[in-house]
Amino acid sequence: MKHTIAVIAGDGIGTEVMPAAISCLDEIAQIHDLSLDWNHLDWGSDHFRATGRMLPVDGLETLSTHSAIFLGAVGVPDIPDVETLWGLLIPIRREFEQYINLRPVRTLPGVPSVLRDERPIDLVLVRENNEGEYSEVGGRAYRGLPQEAAMQQALFTRHGVSRAARFAAELATTRSGRVTSATKSNGIIHSMPFWDEIVAETLAEYPGLTLRSELIDALSASLVLHPWDYDVIVASNLFGDILSDLAGAVAGSIGLSPSANLNPEGRHPSMFEPVHGSAPDIAGKGIANPIGQIWSGAMMLNQLGAPRAAAHLEAAFEAALAAGVRTRDLGGTATTEQMTAEVISQIRALA
Ligand code: ATP
Ligand code: MG
């Protein structure tokens, strides 16, 4: 089956790790008889400087005709983050109902952990990606006066919470069956009890699963102290955002972490991107770790209905790390190109 994929390499190291990932995916596609057609879109900071927009006026329409969106990193230091977030990422996530942000976190061979106890970590964060704390509802009042105030509303809907909980439950049935829900119902007394109620109702439909609700503060500490005890964690937009960076850091370098913004039903394209940003401090040097982008590509293959190809690609980058080839962020000396060449040779070896 032919898949046309929209590619937004973006800025900084996005333009370095994207070609690396595409060359791995092309290799995999050939072996698994997949047809991947890349449509490169030059949206990013240069486009913003030229037009004042991150996304062209018809950008969402353009994206809608693709099987998936493969994103590198957008953003440069002199353009405020809020432009990339609200000008590109959030409109895409909402337009295409990418209501799940999925971030697998696991320890990889040869990757030193910050933890003294190196028991293997293998968990998945399921973040609600369309509503919750990230909302436009609110405003500022009495600017410059002593009573100056700001108000920011979080919006949780029954529909939104239950579909996130259901996704987490379905995922847990394919894993060890433990779901942890991040909450703060002792402090946030309207939306969080609502969240808890709906998560519990949804999980009650899955008698084989266990559900634990944990306060976000305690959960954050536990994720540092014993991350290996977690399997599937479901969290609101804000809590999920914070936990995913935390869990990613505990497992290894930010350069390794992938993410998927999923429209699980496949009615609209999903978007796949590494967790890291454009890393202006190392951009242009050819030393960025391409694994976060490559792993995001493996998640994309899964969503496109090619799980065997996805597993092959994951096994290949794990083997490349196990072989001792490491980029600078992992304490090695390999360049982006050398790391990529090793992954490609492992793809061939494992074919
Ligand atoms: P953004 O606002 O886009 O998230 P940021 O500057 O907050 O950007 P990153 O761009 O992810 O965050 O960079 C954080 C740190 O991690 C930087 O020191 C960067 O060099 C390093 N880093 C990020 N990605 C990689 C990578 N793929 N390989 C090596 N180092 C990386
Ligand atoms: Mg950042």
The pLDDT assigned to 1 comes to: 77
Q: Are 320 and 342 in contact (CB under 8 A)?
A: yes
Cα–Cα distances in angstroms (integers) from residue 102 to residues 81, 93, 141, 221, 304, in the given order: 22, 13, 37, 21, 15
CA of 255 to the centre of ligand 2 (A): 13
Please tell me if the CB atom of residue 10 comes closer than 6 angstroms to any atom of ligand 1.
no
Please tell me if the CB atom of residue 74 comes closer than 6 angstroms to any atom of ligand 1.
no
Determine the Cα–Cα distance for residues 194 and 18; give it in Å rounded to an integer.
Answer: 40
The pLDDT assigned to 254 comes to: 86
CA of 316 to the centre of ligand 1 (A): 24
The pLDDT assigned to 61 comes to: 97
Helix and strand counts by DSSP (H, E) for the chain: 12, 12
The pLDDT assigned to 252 comes to: 81
The pLDDT assigned to 82 comes to: 87
What are the b/e assignments for 282-295, b being 16+ CB within 10 Å?
bbeeebbbbbbbbb
Residues with CB under 5 A from ligand 2 (ion): 277
The pLDDT assigned to 104 comes to: 95
Q: Could you check whether 1-106+252-351 and 113-251 share the same CATH topology?
A: yes
The domain segmentation of the chain, as residue ranges, is 1-106+252-351, 113-251
Indicate if the pLDDT at residue 192 is higher than 80: yes
ipTM, two decimals: 0.94
* pLDDT single digits (tens) 234-291: 999 999 999 988 998 888 878 999 999 999 999 999 999 999 999 999 999 999 999 9
CA of 246 to the centre of ligand 1 (A): 14
Among 276, 281, 330, the mutation site with the greatest number of ligand 1 atoms within 8 A of its Cβ is 276
* pLDDT tier, 64 (very low <50, low <70, confident <90, very high otherwise): very high
Which helix H or strand E contains 311, and what residues bound it? helix 307-322
CA of 207 to the centre of ligand 2 (A): 39
* pLDDT single digits (tens) 72-121: 999 888 888 888 888 899 899 999 999 999 999 999 988 887 887 778 99
The pLDDT assigned to 3 comes to: 96
The pLDDT assigned to 80 comes to: 87
CA of 245 to the centre of ligand 2 (A): 10
Assigned superfamily of 1-106+252-351: Isopropylmalate Dehydrogenase (3.40.718.10)
Please tell me if the CB atom of residue 329 comes closer than 6 angstroms to any atom of ligand 1.
yes
The pLDDT assigned to 251 comes to: 86
Determine the Cα–Cα distance for residues 323 and 317; give it in Å rounded to an integer.
Answer: 10
Ligand having the closest approach to the CA of 281: 1
CA of 141 to the centre of ligand 1 (A): 36
96 half-sphere exposure, CB direction, 13 A CA radius: 32
Strand order in 68-73's β-sheet?
Answer: 35-40, 2-10, 68-73, 270-274, 258-262, 100-106, 122-128, 232-235, 178-183, 210-215
Average pLDDT, the chain: 95
Please tell me if the CB atom of residue 288 comes closer than 6 angstroms to any atom of ligand 1.
yes
Please tell me if the CB atom of residue 334 comes closer than 6 angstroms to any atom of ligand 1.
no
Torsion of CA 60, 49, 129, 152, to 10 degrees: -120
Q: pTM of this prediction? A: 0.94
* pLDDT single digits (tens) 177-188: 999 999 999 999
Contacts made by residues 45-54, CB under 8 angstroms, sequence distance 24+: 45/10, 45/11, 45/74, 45/75, 45/76, 45/79, 48/79, 48/83, 48/87, 49/79, 53/87, 54/83, 54/84, 54/87, 54/88
325 phi/psi in degrees, rounded to 5: -85, 120
Ligand having the closest approach to the CA of 280: 1
Q: At what angle do helices 216-225 and 237-251 cross, to 10 degrees?
A: 10
Assigned superfamily of 113-251: Isopropylmalate Dehydrogenase (3.40.718.10)
Q: Strand 68-73 vs strand 232-235: parallel, antiparallel, or unpaired?
A: unpaired
Q: What percent of the chain has pLDDT over 70?
A: 100
Q: What percent of the chain has pLDDT over 90?
A: 86
Closest protein CA for atom 25 of ligand 1 = 255
Among 282, 291, 294, 330, the mutation site with the greatest number of ligand 1 atoms within 8 A of its Cβ is 282
**Rounded mean pLDDT of 199-221?**
97
End-to-end CA distance of the chain: 20
